């Protein structure tokens, strides 16, 4: 669950459902630590008064830096749970300390002591995101650690850790529109300023297609006659009118593909893969790679 109680977006919810702890950096997530298999002593739960834990997370790229370090003292912080009668019906629970601590009876007759807390950015090591205007856990792979403190306890609790990933936010517009807007222009090398023909997705796959350029195969290839005058065919990428305008439908169209793509928070380095010029008979292919303009701001797989 997100910290504000809201339901995560579909992609994040799918990640959580599949056991992948990954979410966009704009979201604050509530973490849960479960101390299982507690037993009753009479009508109450007994717990070692000296039992303590340290909780923190680390960026896997800098594992020596403990982030948002805190210590837990269950006997003190959840004292109300141990002074009251324990739940007697499986699934029932009692809470204390603003619901940070919960005691729940399981179906096996044992008790889980649960601690919930906000997985917060570290105020010393993390900075405010300029786009979101708030402190965030930056993009990266992390590990959350729970370790028993080195005190004289009557029993030992195993240390535990769990990985999670914070990724850039998804762009605030439909990124598929970028690809739908791509067109290819054919020209002659002898007259590069004159576009002989353009090719849209509809030209290749038919009107109303849901295919993308990445679905194009050799069977969909454009077939051209051999040029007898020693000229060559050239191909270059462009965007249609909506693509050049960007996600803001009121904006003045950009004057170049590179400028327009930046409006979509993506970039192209101006180079082509394959062959953008063809002179001799044979099979050719040409491609461009579009990447996130700022991979720490918005998530966008290279396409």
Residues 232 and 213 in one domain: yes
The helix (H) or strand (E) run that includes residue 22 is: strand 22-24
Which pLDDT tens digit goes with each residue over 254-291? 999 999 999 998 899 999 999 999 999 999 999 999 98
CB 44 within 8 A of CB 85: yes
Q: Measure CA 110 to chain center.
A: 37
Q: What is the DSSP string of 46-78?
A: ---TT--EEEEEEETTSTTS-EEEEEE-HHHHT
For residue 3, the model assigns a pLDDT of 46
Residues 160 and 241 in one domain: no
Distance CA 75, CA 279 (A): 80
Distance CA 303, CA 300 (A): 8
Which pLDDT tens digit goes with each residue over 199-242? 999 999 998 888 888 888 889 999 999 998 889 999 999 999 99
Average pLDDT rounded to a whole number, residues 170-197:
88
For residue 40, the model assigns a pLDDT of 80
For residue 36, what are the CA distances in angstroms to 54, 109, 115?
Answer: 17, 11, 11
Which pLDDT tens digit goes with each residue over 23-74? 888 888 889 999 888 888 888 887 888 888 999 999 999 999 999 999 999 9
3: in domain: no
4: in domain: no
For residue 34, what are the CA distances in angstroms to 26, 114, 118, 154?
Answer: 26, 4, 15, 19
First to last CA, the chain: 31
Residues 155 and 199 in one domain: no
> Which of 154, 170, 186 is the last residue in one of the domains?
170
Distance CA 286, CA 234 (A): 10
For residue 97, what are the CA distances in angstroms to 38, 75, 77, 101?
Answer: 19, 12, 7, 6
Residues 194 and 57 in one domain: no
Which pLDDT tens digit goes with each residue over 84-122? 778 888 888 888 888 899 989 888 888 899 999 999 999
Distance CA 134, CA 136 (A): 6
Q: Which residue has the higher pLDDT, 2 or 243?
A: 243
How many degrees, rounded to 5, is the angle at CA 267 between CA 250 and CA 191?
85
> Which of 124, 147, 170 is the last residue in one of the domains?
170
Residues 196 and 166 in one domain: no
Q: Which of 135, 136, 157 is nearest to 148 (CA)?
A: 157
Residues 123 and 152 in one domain: yes
What residues contact 234, with CB distance under 8 A and at least 6 apart? 186, 187, 188, 189, 192, 276, 277
Q: Which residue has the higher pLDDT, 243 or 44?
A: 243
Residues 29 and 164 in one domain: yes
Pairing of β 160-167 and β 22-24: parallel
Q: Measure CA 125 to chain center.
A: 21
Q: Is the pTM of this model over 0.75?
A: no
For residue 244, the model assigns a pLDDT of 94
> Which of 119, 153, 170 is the last residue in one of the domains?
170
For residue 123, the model assigns a pLDDT of 93
294: in domain: yes
Question: Tokens at residue 49, please?
Answer: 């008064």
Domain limits for position 119 = 10-170
69: in domain: yes
5: in domain: no
Domain count for the chain = 2
21: in domain: yes
Distance CA 167, CA 273 (A): 28
Residues 238 and 258 in one domain: yes
Q: Which of 147, 136, 113 is nearest to 296 (CA)?
A: 136
For residue 48, the model assigns a pLDDT of 81
In this prediction, residue 19 has a pLDDT band, given cuts at 50, 70 and 90, of low
Distance CA 296, CA 140 (A): 9
Residues 121 and 204 in one domain: no
Residues 194 and 271 in one domain: yes
Distance CA 202, CA 220 (A): 12
Q: Which of 273, 285, 294, 301 is nearest to 178 (CA)?
A: 301
State the burial class of residue 49 (Cβ atoms within 10 Å of its Cβ: 0-12, 13-18, 19+). Answer: middle
């Amino acid at each position: 669950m997100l910290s504000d109680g809201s339901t995560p977006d579909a992609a994040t919810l799918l990640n959580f459902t599949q056991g992948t702890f990954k979410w966009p950096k704009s979201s604050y997530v509530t973490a849960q630590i479960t101390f299982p298999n507690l037993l009753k002593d009479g009508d109450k739960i007994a717990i070692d008064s000296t039992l303590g834990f340290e909780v923190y997370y680390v960026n896997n790229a800098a594992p020596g830096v403990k982030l948002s370090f805190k210590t837990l003292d269950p006997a003190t912080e959840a004292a109300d749970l141990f002074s009251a009668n324990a739940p007697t019906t499986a699934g029932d629970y009692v809470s204390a300390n603003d619901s940070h601590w919960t005691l729940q009876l399981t179906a096996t007759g044992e008790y889980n002591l649960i601690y919930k807390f906000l997985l917060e950015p570290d105020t010393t090591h993390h900075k405010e995101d300029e786009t979101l205007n708030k402190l965030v856990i930056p993009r990266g792979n992390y590990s959350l650690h729970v370790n028993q403190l080195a005190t004289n306890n009557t029993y030992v609790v195993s240390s535990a850790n769990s990985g999670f990933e914070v990724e850039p936010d998804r762009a605030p517009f439909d990124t598929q529109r970028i690809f739908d807007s791509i067109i290819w222009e054919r020209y002659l090398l002898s007259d590069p300023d004159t576009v002989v023909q353009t090719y849209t997705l509809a030209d290749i796959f038919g009107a109303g297609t849901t295919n993308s350029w990445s679905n194009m195969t050799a069977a969909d290839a454009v077939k051209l006659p051999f040029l007898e005058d020693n000229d060559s065919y050239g191909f270059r990428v462009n965007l249609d009118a909506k693509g050049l305008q960007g996600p803001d439908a009121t904006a003045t169209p950009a004057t170049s593909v590179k400028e327009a793509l930046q409006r979509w928070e993506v970039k192209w380095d101006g180079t082509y893969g394959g062959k953008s010029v063809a002179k001799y008979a044979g099979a050719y292919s040409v491609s461009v790679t579009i990447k996130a303009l700022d991979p720490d701001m918005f998530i966008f797989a290279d396409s």
